[in-house]
Amino acid sequence: MSDSLDCEACSLTPLDLYERLAAQGDKVRLLKTEKASKDETDEAVKLLLALKTDYKKLTGQEYKAGSPPTDVTLVTNNGPAATEEEYDFVDPWTVQTSNAKGVDYDKLIVKFLSMKLESKLSFLVYEFTKQVTNVLLYMALFFRDVHQILDAYENKKSFYLYTGRGPSSEAMHVGHLIPFIFTKWLQDVFDIPLVVQLTDDEKYLWKDITPEEAYKYAIENTKDIIACGFDMSKTFIFSDLDYMGASPGFYRNVVKVQKHVTFNQVKGIFGFTDSDCIGKISFPAIQAAPSFSSSFPQIFNGRKDIPCLIPCAIDQDPYFRMTRDVAPRIGYSKPALLHSTFFPALQGAQTKMSASDPNSSIFLTDTMKQIKTKINKHAFSGGKDTIEDHRKYGGNCDVDVSFMYLTFFLEDDEKLEQIKQDYTSGALLTGELKKILIETLQPLIAAHQERRKQVTEETVKQFMTPRKLAFEF
């Protein structure tokens, strides 16, 4: 990225630039906190000043932290660029890339303005948690506004976690587990409440299913989420179809968000058109509302000021950019975000995982034999065509799906690094790499299946009952 953004050439809106500036301001603060080298700090400050100049050029206003530009439209044009050889398309419903290595996150960062969790910043997270693990390094590449969460933590104030799932079918695959494994890790580390939203209303609006079917999927998915091991005394899982009708606090926040977002804005952010139903158009407010603690009066005793940290896949960012734009205008703090990367399909990062294609992923209901067969038969390989060539030239970890899966599920960093070296050198053959993945996934999924069996209807009901959680604020 050049030091200054050529705003006339680029498609940044005033709000994009404002957010970019806010992020750069955070970065400079962080560099100073961690006493980074003078050169590095100077460079960051230089970019900050350049951005401020651009901002004034674009908006006619001086940049002021905490005051977003007025009368601006939120716009992200993230559609496929037909003229480019490679393209990524990412929105909350579609993740597509033409690149076997997967989505280009560096480009996505620029588009979504998330901040990369570089090693120098993970230092702070280390300070924060005293527990840097590969979970964080591999799963959460980006974050936004974690500063306020750090502040809360430093001042021994609490915060809460919010994540979600769109229950589009009963079948969840291993990729769906990633945000939940990560969220559970955060809950364990910080010992804080968690709310999990099941957007059964969204799935009813988007898909050709009845509300009853969507609700049934929500319940079935809840069992898989519970099986991830969340602490019942600190976790509230809710279906929108149920909870909207069970909490005036939630609906009040939904309406507040709905009042402060125009059709123009959701058109820009989500690509809605005039032919879309009004349910889709207003839905983003329903995903936004759980970011505010007053949506859960039973948990937070009616307090409106408990900060929220949202671990989620990066494709959900458009919802939360909208949320972060609205928050200060309705008197709330912006939620902080930790974005996890996408989980690739077995056939490769440029193909789509689909619940209707059982071979596109490993499902949580697969037998041990199915796991083995699918990986051996369908996992895209970065190896060479013959053993001779593989030994001679080595394999390519960047496009090898088995290796990508291991980066998510193998907890031992050193072992992972060794695998990478061996596969790249040709010492490790594709069949051997696949065997490691099979032996990693099989016990993990077997254990999940065992825990899911233990989840009774009564347990589901308890998790899904609006109630006080075991936490004092």
The site for its own copies (CB under 8 A) is made up of 201, 204-205, 211, 241-242, 244-252, 255-256, 258-264, 266-267, 272-279, 281-282, 284-285
Shortest distance (Å) from residue 229 CB to its own copies: 29
Q: Which is nearer to its own copies, 358 or 466 (CB)?
A: 466
DSSP string for 285-300: HHHHGGGSGGG-HHHH
Mark residue 369 as left, alpha or beta (left: phi above 0; alpha: psi -120 to 50; beta: remaining).
alpha
Q: Which residues contact 288 (CB under 8 A, 6 or more apart)?
A: 253, 254, 257, 319, 320, 322, 323, 326
Q: Which is nearer to its own copies, 126 or 263 (CB)?
A: 263
Q: Which is nearer to its own copies, 204 or 423 (CB)?
A: 204
With b meaning 16 or more CB within 10 Å and e meaning fewer, what string describes 1-12? eeeebebeeeeb
Q: Which is nearer to its own copies, 138 or 204 (CB)?
A: 204
Shortest distance (Å) from residue 297 CB to its own copies: 10
Shortest distance (Å) from residue 434 CB to its own copies: 44
Q: Which is nearer to its own copies, 248 or 431 (CB)?
A: 248
Through-space distance between the first and last CA atoms of the chain, rounded to whole angstroms? 42
341, burial (CB in 10 Å: exposed 0-12, middle 13-18, buried 19+) = buried
Token duo for residue 180: 């939940």
Report the largest interatomic distance among the alpha carbons of the chain, rounded to a whole angstrom.
67
- Rounded to 5 degrees, what are φ and ψ at 97? -145, 150
Report the distance separating Cα 365 and Cα 449, nearest Å: 7
Q: Which is nearer to its own copies, 284 or 395 (CB)?
A: 284
Shortest distance (Å) from residue 309 CB to its own copies: 25
Q: Which is nearer to its own copies, 65 or 278 (CB)?
A: 278
Shortest distance (Å) from residue 205 CB to its own copies: 5
- E strand segments, 125-243: 140-144, 160-165, 194-198, 235-239
Q: Which is nearer to its own copies, 117 or 261 (CB)?
A: 261
Give strand pairing partners of 235. Answer: 194
Q: Which is nearer to its own copies, 54 or 201 (CB)?
A: 201
Q: Which is nearer to its own copies, 19 or 201 (CB)?
A: 201
Element (H, E) at 309: strand 308-313
DSSP string for 419-466: HHHHHHHTSS-HHHHHHHHHHHHHHHHHHHHHHHHH--HHHHHHHTS-
Shortest distance (Å) from residue 184 CB to its own copies: 28
Shortest distance (Å) from residue 295 CB to its own copies: 10
In 3-state terms, what secondary structure has residue 25?
helix
Give strand pairing partners of 116. Answer: 142
Shortest distance (Å) from residue 281 CB to its own copies: 5
The torsion defined by the Cα of 22, 66, 179 and 208, in degrees rounded to 10, comes to -110
Q: Which is nearer to its own copies, 69 or 175 (CB)?
A: 69
- Rounded to 5 degrees, what are φ and ψ at 445? -75, -35
Shortest distance (Å) from residue 339 CB to its own copies: 25
Shortest distance (Å) from residue 464 CB to its own copies: 12
Shortest distance (Å) from residue 322 CB to its own copies: 10
